[in-house]
Structure 1
């Protein structure tokens, strides 16, 4: 199993205690910590504890919009690319409709060049209605957002692999000869012969069973959906059927999920972490914070190190081989990250 680490960027009220002039420095410190090579010091759990570092593609804080900073995802991707050496870089996940796909393909390819070939393209249909409307995107019905995802993925894939969009006349997007140079530094095998072509790995996020998972079966190298044990198994079976329907090898797709981690060496430590989370979200989100608090309390990766290892071992047996994890107070409490690295990561690798 491989692991990715979410870097606090403000979206989940995770930079609230950091002065604005210190926020980039704080994010950069955690990026370097995950990157290992740039950190200048050994990382518990081995030199390759983290395979990737991630941010979210959102503009306003959650669960309530606020004036707290939320740093923009692709600006961070470019900065992370220039400021790290080894760790892969992703967004979970870019909203297809926030940026024209031809433009987005160009941005991602440029960042891939800056990073030396480490960009991971998380992509989805989008859901946060408040920021959609606030930024003037409207809020199309789900079918329209999913059509944009389908068409956008086709355009990006074509541009990365061939250097040009060619002519594409979709219902949502129309492009004609958009060029994508530099092409990505990364390559992926295509066709029965396994010839390598330039491309960026696609992480198609979302568990919609009729459309999203079918798009994933056609185009994704990775998926990201429901991380609960029963939910993960069910979505996996739906994806497997779509793969059969489109003639895709199900085993080619890495299945991932996102997790909130609350971990301690004993239950008292876990309870202390949960108390901090409750106080924090009640302070910044009021009544709207209660659902978020409950999400942290009831997640699969909440407990002692032994309980977290047991939960991940079960998920691994179900086919979840890539976990992207988030720690509520990463900027002020790195002990949880270090504990996870020392006692959880080695048990699953």
Structure 2
């Protein structure tokens, strides 16, 4: 598990809303300037009001200078892994190594099937994910004549490449016992969401990942742990509160920068080395408070 004494990175989770594209791009640029470390973009191609997440990520990378961008998480059933690997490597090369790959086994199967994708059982979706990780890494190797047989994906002599600008991490959105074992065995990171899992479940997830990593001969500390959270960053001095009701996921929180710094430090004690905030209100002020006010306080507490 990562060292809880190290200050975690801060990220923002942005919605690829077609009707708010200028605002989304402005938020990304504000995050880059405010010192935020990561931008996560959800990938739900079947959402009629969303633009394509990959085209948006390319635009954000072109309009920023230092921030890392990743899909949070890529929808594997609608993204063929060999092509996904080439797209990820291309974004990494164009941005000078500022792209990482969040990857999910799939969900919302009615919507996936309606868009022409496969409907998979839980077991099939994990099997496909395991195969996809192998395909992606083979494609990143740049080797020629790549071949592999699989139930869901195969390579039949394709030439890999290009190689990414840096070793791209594959971070899995994982919750079930088998997915957590796959994370420990094969992945570079874990990115669950608070609300889909409570704190006790997340702690148990860390233990499963650590055990699987050790079984595979890996150091658990090499596996990144990022957590999606949701909430509001209030002006300094305003009282904190839990956010409940329509529009808020379980665990949503409203607090001023000092309260958020305490909350992030607490989550770091649980083993997370990155906190990605989905704002209840996506505004530039929220992004700036997160990066410019919460960030320094977190580093003061844990750095």
Q: TM-score, normalised by structure 2?
A: 0.86
Kindly name which structure, 1 or 2, has the bigger radius of gyration based on alpha carbons: 1
2:27 equivalent in structure 1: 30
Q: Does 1:347 align with 2:291?
A: no
**1:205 is the counterpart of 2:176:** no
Unaligned runs of at least 5 residues, structure 1: 37-42, 44-48, 62-66, 187-198, 279-289
Q: Please, which of 172, 177, 181 is the counterpart of residue 214 of structure 1?
A: 181
Between the aligned partners of 2:209 and 2:14, the Cα distance in structure 1 is 29
- Residue 56 of structure 2 is aligned to residue 76 of structure 1: yes
| Distance in 2 between residues matched to 1:301 and 1:220, nearest whole Å | 29
Q: Which SS does the other structure have where 1:177 is aligned?
A: strand
Corresponding residue SS for 1:313: helix
- Aligned with residue 240 of structure 1, among 197, 210, 219: 210
> Unaligned stretches of 5+ in structure 2?
1-7
Q: Which residue of 2 aligns with 1:154?
A: 134
151-160 or 303-312: which moved more?
303-312
Matched, 1:9 2:16: yes
Higher relative contact order structure (alpha carbons within 8 Å, sequence separation ≥ 6): 2
Q: Rate the CA distance shift 1:307–1:8 in 2: closer, same or farther, 3 A.
A: same
CA deviation string 1:209-229 (max 9, x = no partner): 12x122212222211125343
| Cα offsets for 1:54-85 (capped at 9, x unmatched) | 21110244xxxxx5x20111111222232222
State the number of aligned residues: 289
Give the C-alpha shift of residue 308 in structure 1.
Answer: 2.4
Q: Give the match for residue 89 of structure 1.
A: 69
| Correspondence for 1:313 | 265
Query: How many angstroms does 1:91 deviate by?
Result: 0.4
**TM-score between the two structures when normalised by the length of structure 1:** 0.76
Change (3 A) 1:80 1:88: same
CA–CA distance in structure 2, aligned partners of residues 8 and 226 of structure 1: 15
Report the CA distance between 1:109 and its aligned residue: 1.1
Residue 265 (structure 1) shift: 3.6
- In structure 2, C-alpha distance between the alignment counterparts of 1:270 and 1:71, rounded to whole Å: 34
SS in 2 for 1:139: coil
Match of 2:43 among 57, 62, 71: 57
Asked if 2 retains the 8 angstrom alpha-carbon contact of 1:4 and 1:324, the reply is: yes
1:208 and 1:133 mapped to 2: Cα distance?
A: 22
8 Å CA contact 1:158–1:165 kept in 2: the answer is no
CA distance in 1 between counterparts of 2:209 and 2:24 reads 35
Distance 1:101 1:342 in 2: 37
